[in-house]
Structure 1
Amino acid sequence: MELSTLDYSIIIFFFLTTLLIGIIVSKRSGKSASEYFLSGRSMPWWLLGFSMVATTFSTDTPNLVTDIVRQDGVAGNWVWWAFLLTGLLTVFIYARLWRRSNVNTDMEFYELRYSGKPARFLRIFRSVYLGVIFNILAMSGVTLAAIKIGQVMLGLSAIETVGYAAVVTVIFSALGGFKGVVYSDFLLFFVAMAGAVGAAYYCVNLPEVNGLENLVSHPNVKDKLSLVPDFDNKEALISLLVIPLAIQWWSSWYPGAEPGGGGYIAQRMLASKNENHAIGATFFFNIMHYAIRPWPWIIVALASLVVFPDLTSIQEAFPDVTQDKLGHDLAYSAMLTKLPSGLLGIVVASLISAYMSTISTHLNWGASYIVNDVYKQYVNKDATEKAQVNMGRIATVVLMALSTLLALALTNAVQIFKYILMFGAGTGLIFILRWFWWRINAWSEISAMFSSGIISILISVPHINGVLFGSDTVEGIFPSWFQFPLVVLITTIIWVAVTFLTKPDDDDILFKFYSRVQPGGPGWSHILEKANKENIEISEKQEKWMVPSGLLAMLLGCALVYGVLFSMGSWIYGNITQAIILTTLSVLAGFLLAKVWKRLGKNLVS
């Protein structure tokens, strides 16, 4: 495949425009750490919402979806569709709480909520654990996808792709800071969506595919179309639907879908003008992320089953692809090589934009932890604003270098997805409850974090499994789908036990936290009683607790978003009656949600 002059012109124009944004905002972004990492807390909901969508529109996401669809069918996407519940819980309950906390990073939250040395340890450890280790893992997955795209579409070696992509992105990220990231995300979103939709339209009309009707009736595709797993296949049903909906969404930490909010989603909520803008941004993000955006990727993935039915056909078509990078996720890039001049340039630009948006967000987010929660707290407490910005720029370069090195050693995106899920298993419930139950302390999180990681390692190492279970794998004694629930179960038992075996946090910290955040609910009644006895006023107003209305709004929001997702699928598949029914239910859910949302606003403490 060769890019035409038109294609190169589109790509170069896009590159220059993005870099220009970084240069224009660099002067203001460099004024202070608050400007560099939070844009002065002045961002509107729509700009932050587009930024959240663009950030999760990474180069590895269509590859991941393609890998899932080719192996487990469309229903396999429930492994991440289930995170909608987490997302809407953040929208209707936690977005407002995060904005009220007024912290600079979600790591700073630890010393607002917990007390003593455990809180300080948790803050610095999680800053390194998430901001560096997990962040590098996530970025390496995105860079791996860029490497595969470079090999298949542009004939570039892994080193060449990493070199070009890393240099441009790190310069842009270091210069523009958070404001540059968000402003460019607005542009990147539309470029990425245009590329994804254009690619889907063209691929489904390739001569080999010959339209949607022929696609959905093709023998390679027919058994991949179901939106839910086969109920007769017990293992697939449990692993693809039951576990994600019953356990995974609330129990596991995953970037962009943290239970109770967190990470770069929290960063955007903290950068919003006020609580209402934080809610609006996260709701817009969840609709776009789960309901609208997946279908162009799914269509290309299904079409790839016709054009490249197996790995052998991909290898034959692209003999220069190295064996260690060959996987089903490569089919997405392979399909894009079929695109005509002009559209090809837009799609390549959209993939570059997806890469830059995601990486720049992760770089700024990770650097914010390093500066605010490590450098300023433990290295240079008297650091000037300029010194903090400079350290942020240095951290940006280092994170980029480390993630690119790891990417060169990986094979496919699913590796990282499963690895991160397993290492976060069992910790999510703490992130949900710590806002509403005073008894959770820093030791709860520390024990959950370490036990989850250690147990995940133990059950994934064959030699250790042979000792523990008498088999090289957990499947030797348990079904294959039980691995994730096992980690969740053991981790939960450990952290609950540790919670009651350790001392509660200091009253002063709990009083301060409640006074600032106003979480409400029966889980704080003990602290409210203590404060009243000491004649300390920590409750601003006796308003109706927001959680019951928030949960109802979450359920209606799920009905709305899933309704839109599945109705779009039904329209695409040509199931008109089902599409009309689902569309009607979606409209009804949206109407009811609007009423509950209005009531929720009245019941919340302003």
Structure 2
Amino acid sequence: MELSTLDYSFIILFFTIVLAIGLYVSKKAGKNSSEYFLSGRTMPWWLLGLSMVATTFSTDTPNLVTDLVRTNGVSGNWGWWCFLLTGMLTVFVYAKLWRKSNVKTDLEFYELRYGGAPARFLRKFRAIYLGIFFNVITMSAVTLAAIKIGGIMLGLEPWETVVSAGLITVTFSALGGFKGVVYTDFLLFFVAMAGAVGAAYYLVNIPEVGGIQAIIDNENVKDKLNILPDLSDTKAVITILVIPLAVQWWSSWYPGGEPGGGGYIAQRMLAAKNENHAIGATFFFNIMHYALRPWPWILVALASLVVYPDIASISEAFPNVPADKLGHDLAYSAMLTKLPSGLLGVVLASLIAAYMSTISTQLNWGSSYMVFDFYKQQINPNATEKQMVRVGRLSTVVLMVLSAFLALAMQNAMGIFNLLLSFGAGTGLIFILRWFWWRINSWSEITAMFSSGILAILLETTSLRAMLFDPATGLLPEWGELPFIMLITSVIWLSATFLTQPESKEVLRNFYKKIQPGGPGWSKVVEEAREENDEVVIGNEQWSVPKGIVAMLLGVALVYSTMFATGYWIYGRTTAALILTGVALLSGILLVRAWNKMKDTIL
């Protein structure tokens, strides 16, 4: 397709502003490692919240949503909607704990919570495991989506997309550090949202689609509209709804949806001015991410079923797309080719913005692991601030190159999503409990990490999956893979916990004094300390977790009811929309009251 001068103007202006921001903050960002990776811990909640939202809106996100909708209907999104539960738990329980820890990365937490050689190993290994392995896979999935968009919309070869999209991103990321990432995220968020909403409004009303009512009445779409799966289809209910809500949200580690917070979400909480700003940022993020953003993507996905009812129709319309890149996720890019001049430039700029916001965050986050948790710990303990900044910039470039090469070999974002869930299955419970149960130790996390990873690899590379989960001959139900990995992993790490020695009294007491986690899970440590005249409880702060869980549930009700009310308003189902709007208002009022009571426990 041909871009007009107006389209190019939008894109060039956008690139110019982004690079200018990176250059503007580069001098201050290079001042020291704290500035480069945490912006001196001075960031306000609203800027950090917008950065979180921009980061989780990537080029692969609308592609993934399109794949889910076209394959399983709107209800297929419960695969990621379920992570709202862990998101709200992070808001009302874990955000303040992370900010109180005052660590530079979430991996530094390991040597705060645990002790000795196992804690040091865990920190170093996770730096490589997450900072390189997981991080490169995640970035390659994002880059794969960019490749598909470039191929469909601009006819670019995969390597051309990788070079053109990655060069500017790695430049401003390496120069501007965390502050450059967050400042550009502010711009990227508004550009990305404007493009998503504008594209949805236009594409729903093109002649080939015919408007919302025509979509709803279309035979290809009728069975895809429901927010909940068909309750008469037991398999669909279990796989789409029950497993995500009963198991997945708390048991699986996934970038951006970590139980107990972590990764780049933790990085932003650690960069906040104080605990209240950390809480405000994560709450704002969850509302924007779940309640306001999904529907523009969903509408385009539903409209695509009218224009391109199957993969064959996409292939016919775009014969130059390689066979190994064909999939339902291409339908989003295919629909964007129908945009008019001007709007096309805005949408392309929005997709570039989505790509850049996610990649820049992943690069800065991953390089922070390389600097603080590997280079300084393993290679050069006496590294100067300037050396750490230089290593951070070098690792930024290396991570970008690795992810680009991997993206060229990938085919489908949905498969990557499922693989990452499998790798992290069963580990989530540790991340939730390690703050509140003294008995968890380094070996708990080490065994969980290795067992879940090994199980995921065995299921992916051997005949074990067919033997266990084949629909015709498997020993277990087809939907049982994630619960199976979670159960085996949980048994292994719990066994390791009780078969190994607990952390030393010194480590446990120092952690309690710094964090003040409270609760029955630490009563043994508190009582033993008092018997030895070592008071670990400091101040009058009350245990806020019970009230935090109440606030979490109300927050979940607020966001889900808002999101679903929006959908029913769009569908024209007025009664359901009014009921859910009322639920949202009531949940909001109760949440404000619960939060005020919760704040009263922090004295």
| Structure 1 and Structure 2 fold alike (TM over 0.5) | yes
Q: Deviations over 1:508-544 (max 9, x none)?
A: 1111111111110000001101211222222113443
- Partner Cα separation in structure 2 for residue 598 and residue 335 of structure 1: 46
Where does residue 149 of structure 1 map in the other structure?
149
Q: Deviations over 1:290-318 (max 9, x none)?
A: 11000000000000000111111101111
- Offset of 1:465 from its aligned partner? 5.1
- Offset of 1:464 from its aligned partner? 4.5
Instruction: Report SS of the residue matched to 2:488.
Output: helix
- Alignment pair present for 1:525 and 2:523: yes
* Cα pair distance change 1:492/1:294, threshold 3 Å: same
- Alignment pair present for 1:478 and 2:476: yes
- Offset of 1:221 from its aligned partner? 0.7
* Cα pair distance change 1:372/1:201, threshold 3 Å: same
Runs of 5+ unmatched residues, structure 2: none
Where does residue 354 of structure 1 map in the other structure?
354
- Offset of 1:475 from its aligned partner? 6.1
Instruction: Report SS of the residue matched to 2:460.
Output: coil
Q: Which of 576, 579, 588 is equivalent to 1:578?
A: 576
- Partner Cα separation in structure 2 for residue 463 and residue 216 of structure 1: 42
Where does residue 491 of structure 1 map in the other structure?
489
Q: Which residues in structure 2 correspond to 1:221-370 (within 5 Å)?
A: 221-370=221-370
Equivalent residue letter for 2:21: I
TM-score, reference length from structure 1: 0.98
Equivalent residue letter for 2:516: Q
Where does residue 34 of structure 1 map in the other structure?
34
Equivalent residue letter for 2:202: Y
- Offset of 1:477 from its aligned partner? 1.4
- Partner Cα separation in structure 2 for residue 464 and residue 215 of structure 1: 42
Instruction: Report SS of the residue matched to 1:460.
Output: helix
- Partner Cα separation in structure 2 for residue 518 and residue 347 of structure 1: 47
- Partner Cα separation in structure 1 for residue 220 and residue 463 of structure 2: 39
Q: Which residues in structure 2 correspond to 1:72-91 (within 5 Å)?
A: 72-91=72-91
Instruction: Report SS of the residue matched to 1:541.
Output: coil
Contact 2:470 2:478 in 1 (8 A): no
Equivalent residue letter for 2:601: N
Which deviates the most, 447-456 or 67-76?
447-456
Where does residue 52 of structure 2 map in the other structure?
52
- Partner Cα separation in structure 1 for residue 462 and residue 436 of structure 2: 40
- Partner Cα separation in structure 2 for residue 583 and residue 217 of structure 1: 25
Where does residue 377 of structure 1 map in the other structure?
377
* Cα pair distance change 1:434/1:164, threshold 3 Å: same
- Partner Cα separation in structure 2 for residue 216 and residue 473 of structure 1: 32
* Cα pair distance change 1:76/1:134, threshold 3 Å: same
Equivalent residue letter for 2:380: N
- Offset of 1:214 from its aligned partner? 1.2
- Offset of 1:382 from its aligned partner? 0.8
- Partner Cα separation in structure 2 for residue 343 and residue 142 of structure 1: 23
Contact 1:150 1:161 in 2 (8 A): yes
Instruction: Report SS of the residue matched to 1:127.
Output: helix
- Partner Cα separation in structure 1 for residue 200 and residue 244 of structure 2: 28
Q: Deviations over 1:374-428 (max 9, x none)?
A: 0011101111111000000000000000001110111111011000000000000
* Cα pair distance change 1:475/1:120, threshold 3 Å: farther
- Partner Cα separation in structure 2 for residue 370 and residue 602 of structure 1: 40
- Partner Cα separation in structure 1 for residue 167 and residue 529 of structure 2: 54
Where does residue 595 of structure 1 map in the other structure?
593
Equivalent residue letter for 1:427: T
Q: Which residues in structure 2 correspond to 1:400-439 (within 5 Å)?
A: 400-439=400-439
Contact 1:459 1:473 in 2 (8 A): no
- Partner Cα separation in structure 2 for residue 111 and residue 473 of structure 1: 45
- Partner Cα separation in structure 2 for residue 475 and residue 87 of structure 1: 38
Contact 2:471 2:477 in 1 (8 A): no
Equivalent residue letter for 1:112: L
Equivalent residue letter for 2:413: A
* Cα pair distance change 1:146/1:475, threshold 3 Å: farther
- Offset of 1:103 from its aligned partner? 0.2
Instruction: Report SS of the residue matched to 1:112.
Output: helix
Q: Deviations over 1:27-53 (max 9, x none)?
A: 000000000000000000000000000
Where does residue 458 of structure 2 map in the other structure?
458
Where does residue 98 of structure 2 map in the other structure?
98
- Partner Cα separation in structure 2 for residue 237 and residue 473 of structure 1: 16
Where does residue 557 of structure 2 map in the other structure?
559
- Partner Cα separation in structure 2 for residue 389 and residue 37 of structure 1: 9
Where does residue 545 of structure 2 map in the other structure?
547
Equivalent residue letter for 2:366: G
Contact 1:148 1:330 in 2 (8 A): yes
* Cα pair distance change 1:219/1:499, threshold 3 Å: same
Where does residue 504 of structure 1 map in the other structure?
502
* Cα pair distance change 1:493/1:581, threshold 3 Å: same
- Partner Cα separation in structure 2 for residue 134 and residue 579 of structure 1: 40
Where does residue 194 of structure 2 map in the other structure?
194
Contact 1:459 1:474 in 2 (8 A): no
Q: Deviations over 1:430-459 (max 9, x none)?
A: 000000000000000000001111112223
- Partner Cα separation in structure 1 for residue 371 and residue 160 of structure 2: 31
Equivalent residue letter for 1:153: M
- Partner Cα separation in structure 2 for residue 232 and residue 453 of structure 1: 35
- Partner Cα separation in structure 2 for residue 463 and residue 476 of structure 1: 11
Amino-acid identity (%): 67
- Partner Cα separation in structure 2 for residue 270 and residue 92 of structure 1: 15
Equivalent residue letter for 2:56: T
Equivalent residue letter for 1:289: H
User: Number of matched residues?
Assistant: 603
- Partner Cα separation in structure 2 for residue 36 and residue 442 of structure 1: 29
- Offset of 1:473 from its aligned partner? 8.3
Contact 1:462 1:472 in 2 (8 A): no
Runs of 5+ unmatched residues, structure 1: none
Contact 1:463 1:472 in 2 (8 A): no
- Partner Cα separation in structure 1 for residue 326 and residue 528 of structure 2: 61
Contact 2:18 2:184 in 1 (8 A): yes
Q: Deviations over 1:38-94 (max 9, x none)?
A: 000000000000000000010000000000000000000000000000000000000
- Partner Cα separation in structure 1 for residue 242 and residue 252 of structure 2: 15
- Offset of 1:460 from its aligned partner? 2.9
- Offset of 1:166 from its aligned partner? 1.2
- Offset of 1:463 from its aligned partner? 3.4
Contact 2:229 2:240 in 1 (8 A): yes
- Partner Cα separation in structure 2 for residue 216 and residue 560 of structure 1: 26
Contact 1:423 1:453 in 2 (8 A): yes
- Partner Cα separation in structure 1 for residue 459 and residue 315 of structure 2: 33
- Partner Cα separation in structure 1 for residue 141 and residue 84 of structure 2: 22
